[in-house]
Amino acid sequence: MSDIEEVKSRLNIIDVLGGYIRLEKSGANYRALCPFHNEKSPSFMINEDKQIWHCFGCQKGGDIFAFVMEIEGLEFKDALNLLAERAGVELKKTDPRVAKEKNQTLEILELATKFYETQLWKGAGKIGIINYLKERGLSEESITTFRLGYAPDGWRNLLDFLLGRGYSAKEIEKAGLIIKKNEGNQYYDRFRDRIMFPIADSNNKILGYSARVAPGGDETQAKYVNTPETEVYHKSNVLYGMDKAKQEIRKADFVLLVEGNMDVIASYQAGIKNTVAVSGTALTLEQINLIKRYSRNIKMFFDMDSAGEAATKKSIKLCFGEDLSVQVVELPEGKDAADMAKKNPADLLAVVEKAKGAMEYFFAKIFSKYDKRNVEHKKIIAKELLEMIGNLTNPIEQSHWLKELGREINIEEAILTNMLKQANIKERVVQKTIDPQEDSVFLPNNKVGIIIEDLIGLMLADNNIWKIIKEKGVIDTLFLKDSLLNFLIKIGDDCQFSFDELLKRPIDAKLKERAEKIYFKKKYRLNLNNEPEEVLIDKPIEEMERCLLELKKEAKKEELEKIIDDLKVAEKSGDKGAMQFLRIQSKKILEELNNLANR
């Protein structure tokens, strides 16, 4: 039995999920208000028999690992560790050497954080640095909560401290805390005379630091120095303050995204505890995915100088591409979150409350800079706003803002739509060059995708259907490019054509998630009382035959399209023999299609 199977065998999904949300019995299943989106009527369902859950509202679902990953904001390995500890399972499958090295790095970083904290409160920073932080508006409680520290001036303070605790220079270097000199085997502290802001993961483990030059320190050096990439710290994957903010983000259903560490602490102190920072780097897709675990709503609070506005624009495009709702917090000139929180926390709360929708903000900004009656200015306005509109993935939003732009500059919407299409041609061409074999799901067109999902649903809901499809070999190879369908046909015998047995197998997480969603969609629905009920499939064999017939038609259509393309090439080259042969073949396929249509 694998570690995953053993954990699942010892924990009941009802007990695990019941520790986070209030469950109520509903027939053979349980239901609850979904913790991942706002709803008044429960659409979150748990099947204790299958040990899986599904929300009919936001379409999320999975097993206990998927739930804990989602609600705690963890990677799979961290969710496995958490649940294994709860189940009393000792994990054996990880490489003990790698695990030991990682744990050692985390131990070193925790010790370093305690060293820096001691230096701040009892050492060289206890007067000057503490006073500076208080002058910036931070309370002692906030300084302690965020574990701020001080790296004293000098070349070997931390190095000697950690060597004295039994760690080698190579191990300390691995944690990103010291630097090796070019000559010899000498090392020195990376952080010197700096205020230390520890960066933690969702489990409150210290991964690295953002270090600010101390007031009166060497201003010729960079204002902020961050930990380099290490085995535990990857700056594109973390957000400063997420360890404190994650549950608050879920409660408020939005995240306040700011630029700096001081802004996070000041906002937290002012009562906006759902605040995180990008810490001077550009927002990444990995960070957006981290935010999406808790909310799909972002309020951005960046400096609006030219550099800040460019960063905001780039970040918003990324968020639009992930279908997030974005608002922009507008600052009074020359202010930042930390300044506002220091002078009057109520002002900070007020500007956050009055945040504008991102498109509304950009419309106001662009029309304040250009004259919409001037033809040349109209072209600039259209270009800049279409650049933003083109990143919206929701067709209703895109249509709305195209209409607004057309109305404002008195240009027909059809013209703007055409401009938008032309602007996106390059991006679409690039996307089409992706190797189709890298795609995990083959959906040649929407109709085929729907048929395949319907057929997969039948297979998962009815063991007999799954077995018939495997044994008869009735699926055209064209459609076996769908990774889940192909996988189910290959593994059918091994798991006795049983969805229950399939769930026990260590399979690819994406395939498993897709299988669970299709199963729920086929097997359950919400009735008029908003209660989950099982869907009875009256004539599964007939439904299977209908799906197979439709797939045969689509396969013939695909074959016909290829022949037509070849015929065009033959006509162009004047190859009469090929033309005659291809016309006979196309006629034959048309007859076959006609016969299939009459069945």
Task: With respect to residue 382, please indicate whether it lies within any of the assigned structural domains.
Answer: yes
CA 457/CA 451 separation, integer angstroms? 10
Residues 6+ apart with CB under 8 A from 58: 34, 36, 37
Tens of pLDDT, residue by residue over 510-523, are: 788 888 888 888 88
Q: Of 52, 87, 122, which one is at a domain's C-terminal end? A: 87
Both 445 and 485 in one domain: the answer is yes
φ, ψ for residue 187, nearest 5 deg = -130, 160
Number of domains in the chain: 5
Both 428 and 443 in one domain: the answer is no
Q: In this predicted model, which residue has the larger pLDDT, 116 or 223? A: 116
Highest-pLDDT range among 162-176, 215-229, 339-353, 478-492 = 162-176
Give the CATH number for residue 29: 3.90.580.10
Q: Of 338, 362, 386, which one is at a domain's C-terminal end? A: 362
- The label of the residue with tokens 């505890």 reads 273
Contact 46, 53 (CB under 8 A): yes
Helix crossing, 306-321 with 285-292: angle to 10°? 60
Both 53 and 101 in one domain: the answer is no
Highest-pLDDT range among 100-104, 339-343, 378-382, 566-570 = 378-382
**DSSP collapsed to 3 states, 294-353:** CCCEEEEECCCCHHHHHHHHHHHHHHHHCCCEEEECCCCCCCCHHHHHHHCHHHHHHHHH
Both 134 and 189 in one domain: the answer is yes
Q: Which domain holds residue 328?
A: 242-362
| Percent of the chain scoring above 70 in pLDDT | 89
CA 217/CA 236 separation, integer angstroms? 28
Q: How far is CA 287 from CA 101, 146, 235, 237, 473, in A?
A: 26, 20, 9, 5, 44
Which band of pLDDT confidence, cut at 50, 70 and 90, is reported for residue 440?
Answer: very low
Both 498 and 450 in one domain: the answer is yes
SS3 7: helix
Tens of pLDDT, residue by residue over 21-75, are: 888 888 878 889 888 887 778 889 998 888 889 988 888 888 999 999 888 878 7
Which band of pLDDT confidence, cut at 50, 70 and 90, is reported for residue 149?
Answer: very high
Q: In this predicted model, which residue has the larger pLDDT, 27 or 128? A: 128
Both 406 and 458 in one domain: the answer is no
Token digits of residue 315: 């970040």
Task: With respect to residue 157, please indicate whether it lies within any of the assigned structural domains.
Answer: yes
Mean pLDDT, to the nearest integer, of 353-365?
91
Contact 502, 50 (CB under 8 A): no
Q: Of 123, 277, 303, 304, which is closest to residue 214 (Cα–Cα)?
A: 123
Give the CATH number for residue 168: 3.90.980.10
Mean pLDDT, to the nearest integer, of 119-129?
90
Task: With respect to residue 237, please indicate whether it lies within any of the assigned structural domains.
Answer: no
Q: What end-to-end distance do the CA atoms of the chain give, in Å?
A: 49
Q: In this predicted model, which residue has the larger pLDDT, 343 or 164? A: 164
Q: In this predicted model, which residue has the larger pLDDT, 359 or 96? A: 359
Task: With respect to residue 427, please indicate whether it lies within any of the assigned structural domains.
Answer: yes
Which band of pLDDT confidence, cut at 50, 70 and 90, is reported for residue 170?
Answer: very high
Both 208 and 251 in one domain: the answer is no
Tell me, what DSSP letter sits at residue 481? G
Both 150 and 285 in one domain: the answer is no
Contact 458, 448 (CB under 8 A): no
Both 378 and 358 in one domain: the answer is no
What DSSP string describes 229-286? P-SS--GGG--BTHHHHHHHHHHHT-EEEESSHHHHHHHHHTT--SEEE-TTS---HH
Give the CATH number for residue 304: 3.40.1360.10
Q: How far is CA 490 from CA 111, 438, 443, 502, 552, in A?
A: 51, 19, 19, 12, 21
User: Looking at residue 442, what is its pLDDT?
Assistant: 36
Tens of pLDDT, residue by residue over 180-219, are: 887 667 899 999 999 999 999 877 899 999 999 998 877 6
Q: Of 30, 60, 87, which one is at a domain's C-terminal end? A: 87
Residues 6+ apart with CB under 8 A from 295: 249, 250, 252, 253, 254, 255
DSSP strand E in 155-246: where?
Answer: 178-180, 187-189, 194-200, 206-213, 224-226
Both 289 and 393 in one domain: the answer is no
CA 140/CA 136 separation, integer angstroms? 12
Contact 312, 304 (CB under 8 A): yes
Highest-pLDDT range among 295-304, 347-356, 422-431 = 347-356
Taking the CB of residue 350, how many other CB atoms lie within 10 A of it?
Answer: 11
Both 147 and 267 in one domain: the answer is no
Task: With respect to residue 287, please indicate whether it lies within any of the assigned structural domains.
Answer: yes
Tell me, what DSSP letter sits at residue 357? E
Average pLDDT of every residue of the chain:
83
Taking the CB of residue 118, how many other CB atoms lie within 10 A of it?
Answer: 15
User: Looking at residue 408, what is its pLDDT?
Assistant: 92
Task: With respect to residue 300, please indicate whether it lies within any of the assigned structural domains.
Answer: yes
Both 387 and 445 in one domain: the answer is no
Tens of pLDDT, residue by residue over 233-280, are: 988 889 999 999 988 998 888 999 988 899 999 999 999 999 999 876
**DSSP collapsed to 3 states, 35-77:** CCCCCCCCCEEEECCCCEEEECCCCCEECHHHHHHHHHCCCHH
φ, ψ for residue 452, nearest 5 deg = -60, -45
Burial of 521-532, coded b for 16+ CB within 10 Å and e otherwise, reads bbbbebeeeebb
CA 114/CA 117 separation, integer angstroms? 5
Q: Is the pLDDT of residue 441 over 80?
A: no
CA 75/CA 420 separation, integer angstroms? 38
> In the beta sheet, which residues pair with residue 534?
524
Task: With respect to residue 71, please indicate whether it lies within any of the assigned structural domains.
Answer: yes
User: Looking at residue 304, what is its pLDDT?
Assistant: 60
Highest-pLDDT range among 278-287, 355-364, 568-577 = 355-364
Q: Is the pLDDT of residue 225 over 70?
A: yes
Mean pLDDT, to the nearest integer, of 149-154?
94
Task: With respect to residue 148, please indicate whether it lies within any of the assigned structural domains.
Answer: yes
Q: In this predicted model, which residue has the larger pLDDT, 92 or 151? A: 151
